[in-house]
Chain A
Amino acid sequence: PVTAGSIVVPLGHVVGNEKWRGSELAQRLQGKVRLIFEDGLGLVDFHLPNRTCILLISEADLVAGDEFKRRLVKFRNASSLRGIVIVEKTPISDQYYLGVQKLVVLELGMVLLPVANQGEASQLIIQLVSFCVREQGRERGSNPLAGRQRARPAEPAVLQALQRIPGVGRAKALLLLQRFGSIHGLCNADCQQLEQAVGQTVAQQIYTF
């Protein structure tokens, strides 16, 4: 059955598909994360906190043909959860990688991360889980790669912009801004007002700009 629905995963836990019990991957995860096995996870191999699912594609899956593609498409159609596909990229399966990447990332819009073996897959899963824990522990937005930089005052940038007008240097730019307030104000000043501020020649240059 196509099961791709949400299940609640407590922080620091991983819910694994029963089929992974006793595998090398599961053994390496145990002790690092709290691993719980469950039946009937369907298409998903591991559920992580933060509504994230892991789908593993082994070297053998890649070589065997298109079955894994049907599985990914089914997941994508059935689930609104974030899907991370971890694929075993080895010298043997390497030739299929570009095709898989095109399907998973460009067509299905999911995340694809290559690993060399189950050992690397376990390390990656541990990092993904501990990242969730760190995110929840600190204030929101602690991800150094997420979010915008803090807003800075616009003054230096406004001043810089005006200096791109021919004939306007820093001093004239300051003068203009003190008189007209903003770029919008300056744009709507008439020739006479400009002349009063900076003299006829430059006023004409600004006006034509």
Chain B
Amino acid sequence: SPAGIPRVPGEPSPSLCILADSREISSGPEVLSCLRAGHGLRVQVCSLGSSDYIVSNRLAVDRVLQSELQSPGNRNKLSQRLQRLQGIFERICVIVETDRVRPGETSRCFQRTQHYDGVLSALVQAGIRILFSSCQEETAALLKELALLEHRKDAAIQVPTEPEGHRRDILNFYLSIPSLSYGAALNLCHSFSSITAVANSSVPALAAGARLSRPQAEELHRFLRHDFDPQLLPQPLPAKGK
């Protein structure tokens, strides 16, 4: 069966699904093709913005090159990105991938810096899972393992990932809600008949329908009922009569 999912007799074999950010088409083409061709996964490329991959309803994966962890120059970018992810996902995993050796270049010797060990310490302390990969093919294999594990824990993405027409507009509406992941937005589309149904739902109903943790569902509930105060907008309001 595809991706090694144990087949239960009488049940249609599910196909594991991973969402990939569109930037990965250029930065990780072999990861994508290995996931599809080698492992038989359903890979949906979309504009995730937040992370490189979404592997389940709760797990986001970022691919980071080893060289990016070596120098302090990237510290802010990385920490902002991971902080944002922590607001959206219950679990985060970073795959540290060895840089590719370009043709003609002799294999560069990896000089481990203090900064590199410092970043690893910070990741460990923050409870972010770390995996190491030596190439894009290995990264794809790790993503598959993660997807399988999440599938066994009943957290796999199991809704259609390509809504069309009106549902596409509804999805775009949900995607504009901060702190809501692409997966959660898809789940809302699938589980609720309309935005009104979502807006009138209780916190437990939102948690169940969008497959969110309790605090995340509370945040969504707060957002939908947030009493708008124009004074809190960053820019001044446009002049009247325009």
What is the interface of chain A, defined by CB distance below 8 A to chain B? Answer: 84, 97-98, 101-102, 105-106, 111-116, 120, 123-124, 126-128, 131-132, 135, 143-149, 152-161, 164-166, 170-171, 174, 177-178, 181-184, 187-188, 209
Closest to A157 in B: B178
The interface residues of chain B lying within 8 Å CB-to-CB of A182 are 224-228
The interface residues of chain B lying within 8 Å CB-to-CB of A128 are 117, 121, 124
Binds A, one of B5-13, B42-50, B75-83: B75-83
B122 engages A143 (CB within 8 Å): yes
The interface residues of chain A lying within 8 Å CB-to-CB of B233 are 155-156, 159
A155 engages B132 (CB within 8 Å): no
The interface residues of chain A lying within 8 Å CB-to-CB of B224 are 182-184
Question: 15 additional contacts, CB 8 Å, given A148-B86, A161-B177?
Answer: A105-B130, A105-B131, A123-B117, A144-B79, A154-B222, A155-B228, A155-B232, A157-B178, A157-B223, A174-B230, A183-B225, A183-B226, A184-B199, A209-B169, A209-B170
The interface residues of chain A lying within 8 Å CB-to-CB of B223 are 154, 157-158, 183
- The docked-state distance in angstroms from the alpha carbon of A109 to that of B127 is 11
> Per a CB cutoff under 8 Å, which of B124, B125, B225, B230 touches A184?
B225
B238 engages A170 (CB within 8 Å): yes
Closest to B171 in A: A164
- The docked-state distance in angstroms from the alpha carbon of A164 to that of B225 is 18
- The docked-state distance in angstroms from the alpha carbon of A149 to that of B85 is 10
Q: Considering the complex, which residues of chain B in the window 192-224 have a beta carbon less than 8 Å from any beta carbon of chain A?
A: 195-196, 199-200, 222-224
B87 at interface by CB-CB < 8 Å: yes
- The docked-state distance in angstroms from the alpha carbon of A127 to that of B232 is 42
- The docked-state distance in angstroms from the alpha carbon of A147 to that of B228 is 27
The interface residues of chain B lying within 8 Å CB-to-CB of A178 are 228, 230
B139 to chain A, nearest CB (A): 12
A143 engages B125 (CB within 8 Å): yes
Interface string of B115-146 (1 = CB under 8 A from A): 00111111111111111100000100100011
B173 engages A144 (CB within 8 Å): no
A191 to chain B, nearest CB (A): 13
The interface residues of chain A lying within 8 Å CB-to-CB of B87 are 148-149
B82 engages A154 (CB within 8 Å): no
Q: Specify which of B125, B199, B225, B233 lies most central, judged by the most chain A CB atoms within 10 Å of its CB.
A: B125
B225 engages A113 (CB within 8 Å): no
B114 at interface by CB-CB < 8 Å: yes
> Per a CB cutoff under 8 Å, which of B118, B145, B199, B229 touches A187?
B199
B71 at interface by CB-CB < 8 Å: no
The verdict on A187 contacting B131 (CB below 8 Å), with A113-B120, A160-B176 known, is: no
A76 to chain B, nearest CB (A): 16
The interface residues of chain B lying within 8 Å CB-to-CB of A131 are 118, 121-122, 125
B120 engages A127 (CB within 8 Å): yes
- The docked-state distance in angstroms from the alpha carbon of A209 to that of B170 is 8
The interface residues of chain B lying within 8 Å CB-to-CB of A187 are 195-196, 199-200
The interface residues of chain A lying within 8 Å CB-to-CB of B23 are none
A123 engages B114 (CB within 8 Å): yes
A146 engages B125 (CB within 8 Å): yes
B75 engages A144 (CB within 8 Å): yes
B100 at interface by CB-CB < 8 Å: no
A171 engages B118 (CB within 8 Å): no
A188 engages B199 (CB within 8 Å): yes
- The docked-state distance in angstroms from the alpha carbon of A124 to that of B58 is 30
B125 engages A127 (CB within 8 Å): no
Q: List 26 A-B contacts (CB under 8 A).
A: A98-B141, A102-B145, A106-B145, A106-B146, A116-B112, A124-B121, A127-B118, A131-B125, A145-B82, A146-B122, A147-B83, A148-B83, A149-B80, A155-B233, A159-B233, A161-B173, A161-B177, A165-B173, A181-B227, A181-B228, A182-B224, A182-B226, A184-B199, A184-B225, A188-B200, A209-B169
B149 at interface by CB-CB < 8 Å: yes
Closest to A149 in B: B83
